[in-house]
Amino acid sequence: MKKLLNTLFITRPNTFLLLENETVLVKENNQIILRVPLLNLESIIHFGYLGASQHLMAECVKRNITLSFLNEYGKFLATVIGESKGNVILRKEQYRISDNEIRSCSLAKNFIIGKLHNSKWVIERAIRDHSLVVNIKALKEVSNQISNGIKDCLICDNLLNLRAIEGNAAQGYFKVFDELILKNKQYFKFNKRTRRPPTDAVNAMLSFAYVLLSADCRSALETVGLDAYVGFLHRDRPGRASLSLDLMEELRSVCADRFVLSIINRGEVLPNDFEVMESGAVNLKDNARKKFLNSWQTRKKTIIMHPYLKEKIEWGLVPYVQSLLLARTLRGDLDEYPPFLWK
């Protein structure tokens, strides 16, 4: 449980929320475990099924405090909100920026700067921690290439060039991704990124992790009142949650890629956890998928220091914090969107 950016996050699933004298009470197993005054709260995000009292919901509506419910895995369930004028203003500004390529680029390049920075530090950590077993020269070369890409992003003023910068950096990053795999390399061999379908075990896990991360980003954006289908870097396409894809760019390497590398290198996944389909696609078997999901949920509970807020939070709250920061940027409360820059 954590209060950040005037938002109260309740991450323990077996809790019920009550109201007493203008104070939110968090109850677990018939015990009050937290009291937080409603004063200055803008929203409450509850990861759980037990819900909240009607009295609390009514008071939140009265005070225009957004009360959102998600399941323990982060899937968006519902929001209780009073007058909708706040979300209307926020979304109208989102749509205006999305229709303007120059303004879209000024936001989108911060997503990409975050992505390139985090990709670079995944590589630099491998050099630091495993210098005796990795190709330092190859990794340093790509790290420097990505650094140049970050410099190019800073002066980029159109989406076409920004996508080219991101594409070149991603190509270099995945060119050395195999160097980051340290265990069972004879089976967990990575040659290139393949998506539809994934043709090896590493790509199968990357694709699955990206699906999970995208779902978390979509829930986070919907929770703070943004339209997950209207993006800035990824343009409108029927059925595509474009803003979710924008937001997850900066989180791919540190949330999804590092997770996949960690479960390979710790021996949590083995060659017999995968099956090859007639089409050539490689998939996780059912039991392995459950194991993957359990490890993913465990990872989301890990405590980190948020690099911008300088507050300790769970990994799983990162998409929600970044969504809040994005919403505040669109409202004009922040001069510029602060990407998640991990080291």
Rounded CA gap, 126 and 51, in Å? 43
Residue 84's pLDDT is 52
Q: What angle do CA 292, 227, 207 make, to 5 degrees?
A: 25
Rounded CA gap, 200 and 194, in Å? 8
- Say if domain 2-83 classifies as CATH 3.100.10.20: yes
Residue 233's pLDDT is 92
User: In this structure, which long-range contacts are made by residues 96-102, counting pairs with CB atoms below 8 Å and at least 24 apart in sequence?
Assistant: 97/232, 97/330, 98/230, 98/231, 98/232, 98/236, 101/158, 101/159, 102/157, 102/158
Rounded CA gap, 317 and 22, in Å? 26
Decide if pLDDT at 192 tops 90: no
Q: What is the mean pLDDT of residues 63-86?
A: 74
Rounded CA gap, 87 and 225, in Å? 6
Question: Does a cis peptide bond (omega within 30 degrees of 0) precede residue 197?
Answer: yes
Three-state SS letters, 163-210: HHHHHHHHHHHHHCHHHHCCCCCCCCCCCCCCCCCCCCHHHHHHHHHH
Give pTM, 2 decimals: 0.82
Residue 47, strand partner residues:
70
| Nearest alpha carbon to residue 265 among 117, 125, 73 | 125
Domain boundaries, the chain: 2-83, 91-331
Rounded CA gap, 84 and 200, in Å? 47
Rounded CA gap, 227 and 80, in Å? 17
User: What does the pLDDT look like over 86-138, one tens digit per residue?
Assistant: 578 889 999 999 999 999 999 999 999 999 999 999 999 999 988 888 899 99
Rounded CA gap, 26 and 32, in Å? 6
Q: Percent of the chain beyond pLDDT 90?
A: 55
Give me the residue label for tokens 């998640």: 340
Residue 80, strand partner residues:
67
User: What does the pLDDT look like over 316-330, one tens digit per residue?
Assistant: 899 999 999 999 999
- Say if domain 91-331 classifies as CATH 3.30.1330.10: no
Given a contact cutoff of 8 angstroms between Cβ atoms, the answer to whether 48 and 15 are in contact is yes
Decide if pLDDT at 1 tops 80: no
In terms of DSSP H, where are the helices of the chain?
A: 54-63, 85-98, 101-129, 136-155, 159-175, 201-223, 242-249, 258-265, 286-300, 318-331
User: What does the pLDDT look like over 158-188, one tens digit per residue?
Assistant: 999 999 999 999 999 999 999 999 888 888 8
Rounded CA gap, 237 and 74, in Å? 25
- Answer whether 2-83 and 91-331 agree in fold: no
Q: What is the mean pLDDT of residues 61-90?
A: 76
E strand or H helix at 234, and its extent?
A: none
Rounded CA gap, 112 and 92, in Å? 24
User: In this structure, which long-range contacts are made by residues 211-216, counting pairs with CB atoms below 8 Å and at least 24 apart in sequence?
Assistant: 212/256, 212/293, 212/296, 213/248, 213/251, 213/252, 213/255, 213/256, 213/319, 214/241, 214/244, 214/245, 214/248, 215/74, 215/75, 216/74, 216/316, 216/319
